[in-house]
Amino acid sequence: MTELPARRLLLVHAHPDDESINNGATMARYAAEGARVTLVTCTLGERGEVIPPESRHLTGTALGEYRLRELTAAMSELGVDDFRLLGGPGRFRDSGMMGLADNDDPDCFWQADVDAAAGHLVEVIREVRPQVLVTYDDHGGYGHPDHIQAHRVAMRAVELAAESGHEIPKVYWNRVPRSVAEEAFARLERELPGLPFTKAAAIDDVPGVVDDARITTEIDGTAYAAAKAAAMRAHATQITVAEPYFALSNDLAQPVLTSEYYELVRGERAAGRETDLFAGIAGIVGAARTAGTASDGSGEAS
C-alpha cells in the first residue's frame, strides 16, 4: 500500500468553480506544502449561466463536459491532482437555483437520497483517510439547493465513515468574517470606477458571511493569491476576474479573498484563532513548517 502523506485535506463542493472561489488559496497552500488535497465536486454545473457570448451555446451535458475541462485547468493552477466527481461523471446533475422546476428533475442532486450519495463520499474517505473535511454550512452558504445538499451529504458521510471506523478529526464550514467583508467592500466601492464592472454586489451576496466571533480559523493564502486568481480565471464560463475583484454572471463585483476563513464544527479547537486547519491533530504537529515551501518562487515557507 502506498504511504499516505502526513496531512490529508478533503473538500466537498457543489459545482466546478466553487472550490476556487471559496478555498483556492487554502488548496494551493496545502498542496504546495506537501499535503494531500482531495476535491470532491458533486455536480458538473450543467445548469450554470454562461458569461462569454461565444460559449452560450453550451447547455446541459455539453456545458457540464466543458466545465469539467475548466475544473481540470483550475486544479492545475492550484497544484491539486486529486479531484473527483461524486459517484463518477454525470452521476448527479445540477439542480438549478432554488424554486425552479429544475429542482424536480429526478436525476438532479437535490433529489438524491442523502445516504446513497453519502455512500459514494464514504468510499473516498476510506481511501484518502482525511484528517480535515471542508464543506458548506447547513444553508449551503447562500441557499442554492446543490450547496445545501452538498452540506447534507458531507456531514452524513462523516457520520457513516465514523461508524465504520474512519473518524475525521476536524470538520470545517466555509466562512467570511463580517468585518473582513465590510472592509473589502468599502475598498471595492472606492475602486469600482476603474473596474470593468458597473456595480458591486452586496455583502449579503457573499456566501457564509457571519459575525467575527464565529470564525475559528484563518488561513493566510497571500503567497497563493496569483494561483487562486488563475484558478478562478480558468472557470471562464462562470467567472470574470479583474484582480483583486471578480464577478459572476450577474456582473456584480466582489472581492477576491486571499485569506480564507473557517468555522470548526467538529473536532478539538486550539486556543485562540487557528492558522492551520490541522492544528491540534495528534501526530502532525509542526508539519506545516516542514512539509514544503511557498509556490511563489521565494523559497520561504508560508
Full DSSP string of the chain: -PPPPS-EEEEEESSTTHHHHHHHHHHHHHHHTT-EEEEEES---TTPPP-SGGGTT--HHHHHHHHHHHHHHHHHHHT--EEEETTSTTSSB---STTSGGGG-TTBGGGS-HHHHHHHHHHHHHHH--SEEEE--TTTTT--HHHHHHHHHHHHHHHHHHHTT---SEEEEEEEEHHHHHHHHHHHHHHGGGSS-SEEPPGGGSTTEE-GGG--EEEE-GGGHHHHHHHHHH-TTT-EEETTEEE-TT-EEEE--SEEEEEEEESPPPSSSBS-TTTT-TT-TTHHHHS---TTSS----
Residue 242 Cα to chain centre, angstroms: 20
C-alpha cell at 153: 451529504
The two most distant CA atoms of the chain are separated, in Å, by 57
147 marked as part of a ligand binding site:
yes
235 marked as part of a ligand binding site:
no
d(CA 176, CA 122): 28
Q: List C-alpha distances in Å: 136 to 55, 143, 215, 262.
A: 29, 10, 14, 10
146 marked as part of a ligand binding site:
no
Binding residues for Zn(2+): 15, 18, 147
Binding residues: 15, 18, 147
